[in-house]
């Protein structure tokens, strides 16, 4: 796992647990790599490397070095998994991780969605909700002008996107997805307004938990980012094992159980 910062990452434990069940003699570690240092670090990799997991701020850097990219990566402009070999293949497993985490919590469909934040994770969230039937997405950001890319992405995936400030008047939605940074504390009036008629809540943050927003949620399912972390990692391991995020692992139920215990 490469990123900056990286010390907090739970991914090494998740992958190690899966490799033990699968009987793979693989190692998965963490390395602090800045966006500026990514190019030189990538060029140093040799044939002993199977792939890379990337977190912020390297998802755009990884997108640029990928020779081929899956649909989710192409849509979002972000790659969090690189499969190395004769050519470098890039994947975005965050989209599938969100879909899988929602399905596990019983949220298989949502026609109207509110997305908090306008960064790379928000783009993955928008693609994810398009795959569970979203028709409308209300994007909330401190600087709504930053959501221009999400407006264009919405057109590509068939979701009507409206960008507004975080404290704009709220309307009922089926699902709220927060991609705000861990530890974000919204003012009481804004948080309360978002929590009323906000439907189910998926919060990409998981430390500390409950998040400030989750603690205020009044009704509906509440899902932490640990579900996304787990399921995007499952898809990463499928890629490292099979080269395809949709090909299940041998005895995948046991793999997932071991990974969940590692959280």
Q: How many CB atoms lie within 10 A of CB 154?
A: 23
Q: How many CB atoms lie within 10 A of CB 162?
A: 15
Question: For this structure, is 59 an active site residue?
Answer: yes
Going residue by residue through the chain (263 aa), what tens digit of pLDDT does each one get?
999 998 888 999 999 999 999 999 999 999 999 999 999 999 999 999 999 999 999 999 999 999 999 999 999 999 999 999 999 999 999 999 999 999 999 999 999 999 999 988 999 999 999 999 999 999 999 888 888 899 999 999 999 999 999 989 889 999 999 999 888 899 888 998 999 899 999 999 998 899 989 999 988 899 999 999 999 999 999 999 999 999 999 999 999 999 999 99
Predicted model pTM: 0.95
- Kindly name the residue from 59, 136, 140, 241 that is annotated as catalytic: 59
Q: Confirm if 220 and 202 have CB atoms less than 8 A apart.
A: no
Q: Confirm if 138 and 200 have CB atoms less than 8 A apart.
A: no
The 8-class DSSP code of residue 173 comes to -
Count each helix (H run) and each strand (E run) in the chain, helices first: 11, 12
pLDDT for 144 equals 84
Angle at which helices 94-104 and 226-242 cross, to 10°: 130
User: How far apart (Å, rounded) are the C-alpha atoms in residues 177 and 179?
Assistant: 6
pLDDT for 117 equals 94
Hey, what are 184's tokens?
Answer: 């974000």
3-state DSSP assignment of residue 75: helix
């Amino acid at each position: 796992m490469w990123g900056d910062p990286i010390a907090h990452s739970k991914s090494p434990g998740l992958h190690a647990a899966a490799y033990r069940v699968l009987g793979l003699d693989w190692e998965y570690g963490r390395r602090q790599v800045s966006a500026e240092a990514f190019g030189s670090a990538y060029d140093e990799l040799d044939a002993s490397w199977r792939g890379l997991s990337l977190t912020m701020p390297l998802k755009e850097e990884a997108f640029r070095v990928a020779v081929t990219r899956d649909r989710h990566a192409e849509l979002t402009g972000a790659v969090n998994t690189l499969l190395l070999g004769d050519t470098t293949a890039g994947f975005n497993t965050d989209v599938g991780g969100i879909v899988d985490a929602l399905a596990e919590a019983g949220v298989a469909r949502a026609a109207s969605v509110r997305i908090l934040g306008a960064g790379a994770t928000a783009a993955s969230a928008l693609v994810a909700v398009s795959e569970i039937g979203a028709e409308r997405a209300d994007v909330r950001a401190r600087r709504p002008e930053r959501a221009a890319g999400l407006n264009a992405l919405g057109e590509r995936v068939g979701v009507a996107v409206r960008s507004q400030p975080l404290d704009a008047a709220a309307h009922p939605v089926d699902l709220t997805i927060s991609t705000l940074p861990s530890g974000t504390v919204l003012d009481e009036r804004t948080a309360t307004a978002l929590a009323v008629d906000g439907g189910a809540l998926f919060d990409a943050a998981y430390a500390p938990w409950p998040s400030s927003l989750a603690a205020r949620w009044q009704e509906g399912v509440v899902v932490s980012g640990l579900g996304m972390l787990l399921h995007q990692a499952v898809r990463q391991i499928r890629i490292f094992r099979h080269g395809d995020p949709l090909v299940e692992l041998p005895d995948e139920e046991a793999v997932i159980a071991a990974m969940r215990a590692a959280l």
